[in-house]
Structure 1
Amino acid sequence: MRRSGEALAAFALALAFAVAACAPQADPEADPADTIFFGDHIITMDPEQPAVEAVAVRGDTIVAAGSRDDVMALEGPSTRVVELGEGALLPGFIDAHGHFLGPGRDQTSLLLHPPPVGDVSNIDDIVRKVRAWIDEHDIPPGEPVTGRGYDDSLLEEGRHPTRADLDRASTEHPIVLTHVSGHLTTTNSAALAASGITADTPDPPGGHVRRIEGSMEPNGVLEETASGLLAIQRGGAPSPEEFDDLIRRSIDVYLSHGTTTIQDGGTSAAQAERFQAAADREPFKADVAAFVRRRGAPGEVADVPYVREYRNGFRVAGVKLMLDGSPQGRTAWVTIPYEERPPNTPPDYVAYGVMDPDEYKAQADQLIEAGVPILVHANGDAAMDLMMDGVDEAVADMDPMPDHRSVIIHAQLMRADQLDRAAELSVVPSFFAAHAFFWGDWHRRSFGEERGNNISPVGWALERGVPFTVHNDAPVVPPHIMRLVSITVNRTTRSGHVLGPHQRPTVLQALHAVTLGAAYQYFEEDAKGSITVGKQADLVILGENPLTADPENLEFIPILETFSRGRSVFAR
């Protein structure tokens, strides 16, 4: 049952009085705090001490949390004292899955998003924007033009732009546009020609070249691994200075949304080395956890630079594996056929996997045995069956079962029985909950009302006590955490339909998924995710208490200030 905002507020207030008497006492002999926060809206996310009156920080650590009088004993001449007023103090948000350079790149890229992120409504808008980009940047003939973010599900034409459409923008520049999901691309004739993609080009394993109806001639749209057929250099390699600037721009975007731990969910080992070198040159203002992407047969586990500790704000936190595509791109691998499917596909179309099942199982077995955390991209229920088969086989002979916390990334079409199995196997689903608004109506068309309304089944996970997180998968959706919390709680689609009201959590449960729950996913719950003495001082001040706010207005609560490791790193 969902608690009302008023009930949660009363609950929090009662707990505040209950814990005040037993809160840790500040030591007046200790060094003074660097910062003290006090107010009526401190949401600790700590189940042992859910609400306090004040919090003190020294260096990068929370050193006191309790009554205002006790904590204020740590005030010194140079202590910054923050009176929260109507603002709320929470632990810093934790990005459960995303691609952290994307938001930085988006600041200097050709973007083709529909509202509310952009302004593209139809294919003519795309053609116009590509032409304008070529003119404004004086791109010479022969040089590629790249962009991202178009969404066929929201274009007036209800389809992908094709080579014929993009040829209207230019026949002299190879044009490559990436679908909002990141799982498809569309190209013009020049890009296909430059890449040698013709009617004779076969589909690669785990991908598909879409064809002009009635022929084998490519229509320009490439699904999944078929995008790898493109022989187009999509922008030159940045210099170390440009790369550093991109990293720090991206971090600043996340900090502006209150996020203090950021994920790069699918990088290369070489890129990870560049991240670490950048952090060693100048420590990152937030923690960045990278997951190295592996394909094919397993290599040497020693080649995975997995470490448990951050160095200057960076660490490799595990490995990313891919099993299928995306539901918004209609390439998620499912067990029951799509109700509305891509053109030129058979009635029994269920999409397809993108990794050989035996190779995936070998990877999962090797990595789990070695204690390396894995994130496994699986949107469709067929992909999730395979994901959990791999985990099951890996841990079958282990007694006791290791604390592996293998993560299903996206988990969009997860069935109720799969959540039962996740509970048995200690698998953590990370739901792409932002889909409920952005593509909820599309999923009802793709999968029918029953499956569509149970996308991102947070309610089923709560019923079973399955630990879960939610994410934006930036830059697919901007890294706006309060909008993510709002969508998770409300599950309202673009059309105003409530997508499976039985799957809605409370506000407090949604906040847990982006704080302490996400810290658990990362094996970092002892250091992050709650306002607890001894933990890292990652904090965010919101303009309003989300537990008492109107749930429909959650996404509009502003981020007033973000603190990472005790330092103020963003202020409005």
Structure 2
Amino acid sequence: MRQKLYWNGTILTMETPSCAQALLEQDGKIVAVGALDEVRQAAGTHFECVDLQGHTLMPSFIDAHSHFMGYAMSLLQVSVEGAHTFSDIQKRIAAFIENRHLPDNQWVIVKGYDHNALDEQTHPTREILDEASSGHPIVLQHRSGHNGVFNTAALNFLGITRSSMAPAGGKIEKDEAGEPTGYMEENAFLSYLKQIPMPQSEEILNALKQAQKRYASYGITTVQDGYLMKEMVGLYQMLCTSHALELDVVAYAGVEDYGTIATQMAKHVDQYSDHLKIGGYKIFLDGSPQSRTAWMRTAYVGQEENFGYPSMMDKDVLNAVRRAMREGRQILAHCNGDAAAQQYLQAVARAMGELDDAPDIRPVMIHAQLVGTDQLPLMRELGVLPSFFIAHVYHWGEVHVQNFGDLRASKISPAQTAMRLGLPFTFHQDAPVIEPDMMETVWCAVNRKTKTGRILGEEERIDTLAALKAITIHGAYQYFEENRKGSLKPGKLADMVILSQNPLDVPAEALKNIEVLETIKEGRTIYQKRAAE
């Protein structure tokens, strides 16, 4: 029997009462929380005393949506984040090829460009990428993950010609002569992205281990793989066989692949085995607001006929939700625009109405970026949980103003309205779109400042405690794990984080400066900040 007693700091329980003097952990679970004398009495004769030295202990953070495998893959890619011109992009790609001595015909995968941040204010073309290298197939991924550009060598490898047609819910851009420019959107881009050869298994496994450390450094102990493809199954099996997962990973498969994946990974379905659980289904209903592909009820500013577009037909969305309901399995839907949100809510309402006793599957609306405040009451009625990508306020708030105007942009991620309605919500970062920095997200929710310092939607600000609940107890609820995680309570897992300061005591502006000092998974330290960090 191993026991640790934490004391001499602030202990935020996310329960009532909200603070405690001490906590006792034994064999990965919380045994006692409360006054120091009471917790000492609950301890055995031999225990390790952990002096918090005035720092704050609280439940570790729960990632409500990201792409764990995609984040790991991104660590093997060249980043052009922060590039301001096409020339900047070309130079970084060329330097990556030269420094790594990449042979001709080896794929170069590039991440992080944002046309909104480029001086050219548009997407590059295949010719632009050809100038970086014509001998390497290159794919340049937009920071949103919903669109990108292939160079000529990549188009040739993938067999994309002037006669290639985009799938429904996607776009292959062509020039005036009918030749592909290299730029693609949504289902077209994503379908060809899947055809790119994977890196070597050893490279990926090392990147997955590195990715875990990165998540842990942000205080996260439960992470999501928001779109598990059948091509990933072998890698996850290798991770589990070698007991390499330290974080709990909850993965969601596409409807079309679920049966195959569930058969191959039967022991992981709806339960953890070696820290991996298959949580249910994932569908994509639209695109990205910053690329003007999110499906909207009103047109984008300056483009009276552009409402974005759907990725799935109504009948297919309904059939996916019906299947989830029939099997009692959770479903997550990527919805950025309010038209996509309406499509999802209508499908959930109809599927529920067809059953005498609909199961509690806690459907999730991923991003819910531009869900209308008029749609939130129906979400509450149906039990659909919004998981807000609220850091958009900072990272793309000014772009939203350009795309939707001041009033509509001020209502992105309407957390305060949801809270007033009693609708629980979670927050996420959609890594690798941005880093899974939970304290930055808390700062965004409380302050709602854009990169220019503009307050975007002051009426949708929430207090710090509500923001912390979104990444702890509500995150646990989203995963049906509220009895195991999300708060510091006897019987729950000792999944905890030690912060440099108490978030409830610092000014709102200082929240993003709070450091994660230590991350603890089931009583074991999996990350500790070094003095030099």
| TM surpasses 0.5 | yes
1:249 maps to 210
2:47 maps to 79
Map 1:158-177 onto structure 2 (within 5 A): 158-177=121-140
2:12 maps to 43
**Structure 1 counterpart of 2:306, one-letter code:** Y
Provide closer, same or farther for how the CA distance between residues 511 and 54 of structure 1 changes in structure 2, counting only shifts above 3 A. Answer: same
For 1:185, which of 148, 160, 173 is the aligned residue? Answer: 148
Provide closer, same or farther for how the CA distance between residues 237 and 141 of structure 1 changes in structure 2, counting only shifts above 3 A. Answer: closer
For 2:158, which of 195, 205, 212 is the aligned residue? Answer: 195
Deviations 1:439-473 (A, max 9, x none): 01001111111211111111110111111101000
2:437 maps to 480
Matched, 1:143 2:106: yes
Partner Cα separation in structure 2 for residue 143 and residue 130 of structure 1: 13
For 2:64, which of 77, 96, 102 is the aligned residue? Answer: 96
Q: Is the 1:489–1:507 contact (alpha carbons within 8 Å) kept by the matching residues of 2?
A: yes
Matched, 1:284 2:245: yes
Deviations 1:15-60 (A, max 9, x none): xxxxxxxxxxxxxxxx6x52111134111001x3321111000001
Matched, 1:403 2:360: yes
Q: Secondary structure at the match of 1:448?
A: helix
Deviations 1:149-201 (A, max 9, x none): 11111112211111222122122222111111111011222222333323332
1:16 maps to none
Shift, 1:276, TM fit: 4.2
Q: Is the 2:230–2:261 contact (alpha carbons within 8 Å) kept by the matching residues of 1?
A: no
Q: Secondary structure at the match of 1:208?
A: strand
1:323 maps to 285
Q: Is the 1:279–1:312 contact (alpha carbons within 8 Å) kept by the matching residues of 2?
A: yes
1:14 maps to none
Provide closer, same or farther for how the CA distance between residues 134 and 368 of structure 1 changes in structure 2, counting only shifts above 3 A. Answer: same
Deviations 1:272-306 (A, max 9, x none): 4642442232152121111112249x969975956
1:332 maps to 294
Provide closer, same or farther for how the CA distance between residues 351 and 541 of structure 1 changes in structure 2, counting only shifts above 3 A. Answer: same
**Structure 2 counterpart of 1:99, one-letter code:** H
Map 1:457-496 onto structure 2 (within 5 A): 457-496=414-453
Matched, 1:310 2:272: yes
Provide closer, same or farther for how the CA distance between residues 122 and 237 of structure 1 changes in structure 2, counting only shifts above 3 A. Answer: closer
1:117 maps to none
For 2:501, which of 538, 544, 549 is the aligned residue? Answer: 544
Q: CA RMSD in A?
A: 2.1
Map 1:255-294 onto structure 2 (within 5 A): 255-269=216-230, 271-272=232-233, 274-282=235-243, 284-294=245-255
Shift, 1:369, TM fit: 1.8
After TM superposition, the structure 1 stretch with the greater mean CA deviation from structure 2, 95-104 or 538-547, is 95-104
Q: Is the 1:369–1:394 contact (alpha carbons within 8 Å) kept by the matching residues of 2?
A: no
Shift, 1:83, TM fit: 2.0
Q: Secondary structure at the match of 2:291?
A: coil
Q: Is the 1:195–1:229 contact (alpha carbons within 8 Å) kept by the matching residues of 2?
A: no
Map 1:321-470 onto structure 2 (within 5 A): 321-340=283-302, 347-470=304-427
Shift, 1:363, TM fit: 1.2
TM value normalised by structure 1: 0.88
Partner Cα separation in structure 2 for residue 34 and residue 299 of structure 1: 43
TM value normalised by structure 2: 0.94
Deviations 1:119-138 (A, max 9, x none): x2222110100111111122
Map 1:214-229 onto structure 2 (within 5 A): 214-228=176-190
Partner Cα separation in structure 1 for residue 228 and residue 123 of structure 2: 27
Partner Cα separation in structure 2 for residue 312 and residue 299 of structure 1: 21
Map 1:8-27 onto structure 2 (within 5 A): none
For 1:555, which of 489, 499, 512 is the aligned residue? Answer: 512
Deviations 1:191-248 (A, max 9, x none): 2233332333222211011233x44322221001112564896343533x44432322
Q: Is the 2:125–2:182 contact (alpha carbons within 8 Å) kept by the matching residues of 1?
A: yes
**Structure 1 counterpart of 2:487, one-letter code:** S
After TM superposition, the structure 1 stretch with the greater mean CA deviation from structure 2, 515-524 or 266-275, is 266-275
Provide closer, same or farther for how the CA distance between residues 235 and 201 of structure 1 changes in structure 2, counting only shifts above 3 A. Answer: closer
Deviations 1:298-351 (A, max 9, x none): 96997595633211211111111111111122211111111145xxxxx31111
> What stretches of structure 1 of length at least 5 have no aligned partner?
1-30, 115-119, 342-346
Provide closer, same or farther for how the CA distance between residues 133 and 143 of structure 1 changes in structure 2, counting only shifts above 3 A. Answer: same
